[in-house]
Chain A
Amino acid sequence: MSVVAGSIASALASIVGHEGVQEDGGARARFAIDGLAPRWVVRPAALEQVGRVLALAWDAGLAVVPRGSGSALELGAPPARVDVVLDLRGLDQVLEYNPDDLTISVQAGVTAGALAARLAPHGQLLPLDPPGAARRTLGGLAATNASGPLRARYGTLRDLLLGVRFVQADGVVTWGGAKVVKSVSGYDVPKLLVGALGTLGVLGELTLRLHPMPDAEAAWLASFRELAAAQAFVARLLDSSVQPSRVELLNGAALEACGAGPAAAGIAVSIATAEAAVRAQGETVALLARAAGGALTRLADGFWAAYERAMAPDGGVLLQVGTLATELATTATEIERAVAAALAGGRATVTGCCPLGSLRAWLPGDDVAAVGTIVARLRAFVAPIGGGVVIRRAPAALRAAVDPWGPVDAGRWALMRGLKDEFDARRVLNPGRFVGGL
C-alpha cells in the first residue's frame, strides 16, 4: 500500500485540524532544521494526534523531526531528511500533581519555567538547570539529556524521569516506567529514551521525581592562580562531608564572563540545606579552599542566574567534554591550549561540573577546519580515560563536516543500531541526526 502524496496535507489536517498544519513558505522557513525546510509543520494538541501523525508518516515514508522550544536544534548532525516538523508545544498540560507524592505528570511541551511556577507554591522543584531551561520544554530537555550545575547533587533527567508515554515510529502509543518514585517492574524504558534525541520514540508525557526546595542556599567562589590548585581543592572537597548542590569549575575566561576574577581558575560551590547547616558547611568550604591556596569570596544571591546567562550566549560553538573529576585541570588546560593553537590565540571559556568531570567549552570561533582540529585533539586526549567530546551546539556546516558525537566502539554500536533497526526500521524519526547517523 502507499499513500497518495497530494492527500497527505489533507490527512494531516483531518488529524490535527487545518489550524494545526502549516505549509506556507514562511512557516516552512521558520521551522527549517539546519537549512532544510519541512514540507509541513504540524502542531498536535493531544498525544493521540501525535500517534496518528506518526502512523501516517510511517506508512508514507515521511521523515519526522520532533521539536520543543527549538533551543537545542544545533545538537546532532544535520538531518538526512525533513518532511514534517512536529511542533510539540501544544502539549502543554499538567496531567497530575499531588505534592504529597513528590511526583508530577506533565505533557512533553510543558516548559521547565511553567513547571517551576506550578511547583513553587508547594515548596518543591525539579532540580534541572541547564542554560535557558525556563523556556525549554521538558520533552526537549529529556530528549537531549540537558543538565546544569545542579547535576552535581541531583543527577540528570536520567535520575528524575520515572515514567514516560511515548509514540513509536509507527504511531503506537507506548508507556514505560511507573508513576511512583520506586519501581523495578520490567525494563527501565525511560532510561533508553533520555538523551536519545527522539530517535526511538516521540516523548509525549513525562512523570517526574520532584525534590523539596531547600530552606536556604549560599554560594562561594574559591579563586586560584592555577588550574592545578583548583583541582586540589576539588579533591579535598569531594573527600569531605560537605554536601554541595553545585560545584562548578570556571577557567579564567569564564570568570571574566561572569564578572569575577581575574584568576586562572575558580570553583563556585553552592550549599543548599537547613540554614544552620549552610553556615557550618560554608565554614568547612572556606577552610578547604584556604588549605588549597585559594581566595574565597561569598557570591551574591543572583550569581547562578548570571552564570546561566553567561553560559548561554547566542550562537557559537559549545563542546561537552567528558573527563574525570581527577582530570579537570589537565583537560581544561588541554582545551585552552588546543583552542589557542587552532584559533590564533583565541581563549576558550571552560566551565563544568567538578564531581562528575563534565566540562563545557565555548569556543571563540566556528571555523570548520580549526574546530575540527580542536575536537580531534580533545577526543584523542580523553580517549585513554574513556572520555568523549560531543558538539552540543555549532553551525550546521560545522556539524556536517565534523562528527558531533564522536566514535562509538563496535560492541555498543551494534546494540544501538540494533535498537534503531528494531524500533524505527523505516528511519522516520529524526533520521541522520543521532550517533553514527542513526
Chain B
Amino acid sequence: MPLSPGLVGALQQILGPDGLVLSREGRLVYECDMHTFYKGAPDAVALPLTTEQVQAVVRLCRRERVPIVPRGSGTGLIGGAMAPAGGVMIGLNRMDQILEIDLPNRCATVQPGLINLRLTRAVEDRGWFFAPDPSSQMVSSIGGNVATNAGGPHCLKYGITTNHVLGLEIVTGSGELVRLGGKVVDRAGYDLTGVAVGSEGTFGLVTAVTVRLLHVPEAVKTILATFPSMESASEAVSAIIAAGIIPAALEMLDELMIQAIEAGIGAGYPKGAAAVLLIELDGPRAEVEAQGERAAQICRERGALDVRVARDDQERALLWKGRKEAAGAVGRLAPAYLLQDAVVPRSKLPLIMREVLAIAERHDVQIANVFHAGDGNLHPLILYDDRNPDELARAKAANEELLRACIAMGGTVTGEHGVGLDKAKNLPLQYADADLNFMYRLRGIFDPDRIMNPGKLLPSHPACGEGFRPARPRLPEGTWV
C-alpha cells in the first residue's frame, strides 16, 4: 500500500530534501540486505541526521500504522534490513559520529551508523580496541551489530556484541526516547539493555550506543595446523579447550573450502589437507607463549600434517589470508549458496561434520565449511546454481535437514547472524509454544502496535498471535468450586 500524500509531505518536512528517498530506483537500492534471496523495497527511505528526526518519523508512522524497517549498512545475512510489507525504512548510516571516547572508563558512545572498524581505528593508537569483529566489520555499522547481536571470529574469548554494550538510547516502537543502561554498570531494575540487544529492530531504533573498549593484549600468536581429516581437527579443538586454553579465535576450514582457496589465492596449504585449523591466542606474552606451545603440541599429537606458527604480523596476516578469502573463494565453486549459522555443542563437532557429509550426499549437493570451531558455530555453505530450480530445491532441503540435525544435538538456529526473515520460520524447531509466546508478548512492551520491522525474528505462528495463551498446568481435582 503506497504511503498517503499527507505522510510523505510530513516526512519531507521532518527530513528535508536530502533526507528522503522516494524514487523507484532509489528505493530499489534498499530492497535487500546481503541475503539477496529476500527482496522487498520500502515505500520511502528516511535518512535522518538526528535522534529528534528519528523520533518524529517513528511517531508519524505509528499514527498511521505504517511499518518501519531500521537499516544500517545493509550487510546483514538474514533478510533483516528489507521491507517485505513496504512502509518506511529508516537508514541510520548518516548518524555515524563518535560522540565520546572515555578511555579511563574504558568506553565510548557512538551513533548507530558508525562503521565497526572505525571505532577501533579511532582508539588503536592509544592501545585500545572494540572487540566484536564480524567479518563485515569494515562496512557494517555498530547499530547493526547491536541489532543482530553480531559475533565474529574473536568472540570465542571476548563474547558477542551484547557482552560489550553498556547502554543504549532507543526510540521505541511507541515513539518514546529512552536511555537504557549507561557507563555505570550497576543499576536498579530489569536489564532492558540486555534484552534490547539482538532484538533486530523489533523493539525500536537505536540512536546511540555506549560500548566497552578493551586494552589491546600484550601479545598475539597465530598458529595454522592442517589435518588429514575433519575428525582429527575436531578432536584437536576439543583437546585444546580441555587443556584449559580459550584461544581468541579457533577457526576451521574443510577440504572443499581448502581446494577453493588454493585454486584462487593459493594460501599454500599442504597436499592431502582435509581440514585447516587456525588458532589465535592473545593476552600477556608469557601466557600466549605457554599456551601456544601447548596448542601446537596438541595439534601434532592429534595427527596434524603441518603446524606453522607466525613469527610476525606479516606472517600472521598470511595465515589469516585463506580464512578471510573463504567467502570470496566459494564464488569459484558455484554461482550461489545458502549460508547456515547453526551452533552445536562443541563436543558434537565430529558428529555433525559426519552428518553434513551424509546430508550433502543424500541431497546431491556440495557443502563447503568454514566455521568458528571453538564455539561450535557452523557456517556450512550449501552450493547451488541459481539458474537451476531443482538445485535450489535440493539445497533448501539439505539446509533444512542440517538445521534439524543441529537442533537435535542440542544446538541453536543461529549463533551470530540473527534470525531476520530467513530463520524466523525455524524458531519453532528450537522453542515451544510457551517460549515463543513469551517472546511475542515481550516485544509488545516495546512496540505495542507491532510496527517495528514486522515479519522479522518472530515466526508467523499461532503462539505469536494476539489472544494465544499456552496451556497451563492442570490444577488438582476438587480445587474448583
Contact = CB atoms under 8 A, between A and B. Distances in A.
Interface of A: 1-4, 7-8, 10-11, 14-15, 48, 51-52, 54-56, 58-59, 98-103, 123, 155, 158-159, 168, 170-176, 178-189, 191-192, 194-196, 200, 211-215, 235, 238-243, 273-277, 279-281, 320-326, 355-358, 382, 385-388, 390, 405-406, 408-409, 411-412, 414-416, 418-419, 422-423, 434-436
Contact of B246 (A4, A196, A212, A275): A212
B184 A387 contact: yes
B419 interface: yes
B435 A185 contact: no
Contact of A239 (B127, B244, B375): B127
A15 B476 contact: yes
Contacts of B347: 98, 100-101
Contact of A388 (B148, B186, B194, B286): B186
B194 A241 contact: no
A386 B102 CA distance: 15
Contacts, number: 310
B467 to A, nearest CB: 14
Interface stretch (B12-20, B93-101, B405-413): B405-413
B473 A48 contact: yes
A192 B190 contact: yes
Interface stretch (B63-71, B111-119, B426-434): B426-434
B199 interface: yes
21 contacts: A4-B479, A7-B479, A15-B476, A55-B473, A55-B474, A100-B238, A101-B347, A170-B472, A180-B345, A181-B375, A194-B191, A212-B246, A214-B244, A243-B217, A357-B185, A406-B188, A409-B179, A415-B190, A419-B190, A422-B445, A423-B441
User: Interface size class for chain B?
Assistant: 35 or more
B378 to A, nearest CB: 11
B81 to A, nearest CB: 16
A55 B182 CA distance: 37
B445 A7 contact: no
B475 A416 contact: no
Interface string B373-413: 00111000000000000000000000000000000001111
B162 interface: yes
Contacts of B244: 123, 212-215
Given A173-B434, A188-B197, A415 B245 contact: no
Contact of B290 (A172, A174, A274): A274
Given A182-B343, A186-B457, A414-B176, A274 B291 contact: yes
Q: Which 8 A-B pairs have the closest CB atoms?
A: A191-B194, A212-B244, A322-B186, A411-B178, A277-B287, A277-B286, A241-B218, A100-B347
B415 A276 contact: no
A235 B286 CA distance: 23
Given A382-B184, A415-B446, 19 more contacts: A15-B476, A52-B473, A59-B479, A100-B347, A185-B412, A185-B427, A186-B457, A187-B439, A191-B194, A273-B283, A274-B291, A276-B287, A277-B286, A279-B286, A280-B286, A320-B186, A356-B185, A405-B188, A422-B441
B189 interface: yes
Given A123-B244, A182-B151, A182-B375, A241 B184 contact: no
B75 interface: no
A56 B289 CA distance: 59
Contact of B216 (A100, A188, A241, A406): A241
Contacts of B198: 184, 187-188
Contacts of A181: 343, 346, 375-376
Contact of B192 (A101, A321, A406, A416): A416
A280 B290 CA distance: 13
B189 A183 contact: no
A192 B241 contact: no
A215 B287 CA distance: 10
